Amino acid sequence: MAASFSSIAHGLAGGVMIGCAAAAMLLLLGRIAGVSGLAAQAFRISGQDSRLTALAFVIGLPAGAALARFAGAPVEASFPSISYLVIGGLFVGFGARLGSGCTSGHGVCGVSRLSRRSLVATAAFMATGMLTVAAMRASGVLS
């Protein structure tokens, strides 16, 4: 199934914005823009200065999505059920702790810095994601 020009443009624009945000955070604050690390910092008690930055970043993620939706951005995501979202979220959280970072930290920031650990982690994320989608399609959960 071929992607439309509009969906390609949206993906490209989103990727550019993520890259710019990650670069700005690294250059201006000296901090890797990994969501799991920022979430952990946001809810930690110590380190008030970096905690506020992390909290602003974590709050900005859903707020930005809500703003985009309010502005009329198309919603192209669908999920079989809320239970799949919860189970998937738990697996992602466990994997982020196990892999010493999340897809954004390793995939965007680590790969761009040619971190060997991040290259391996990103390859594992991608392979696991592809296998999961293939298995869910084969079982009829996804069409």
pLDDT tens sequence across 29-38? 888 888 888 8
Six token digits for residue 86: 């919860």
Q: What is the mean pLDDT of residues 116-132?
A: 91
Q: Are 99 and 124 in contact (CB under 8 A)?
A: yes
Q: What is the mean pLDDT of residues 82-110?
A: 82
Query: CB-based contacts of 31: which residues, under 8 Å, 6+ apart?
Result: 25, 38, 50, 53
Percent residues over pLDDT 90 in the chain? 11
Neighbour count for residue 16 (Cβ, 10 Å): 10
Question: d(Cα 40, Cα 97) in Å, to the nearest integer?
Answer: 10
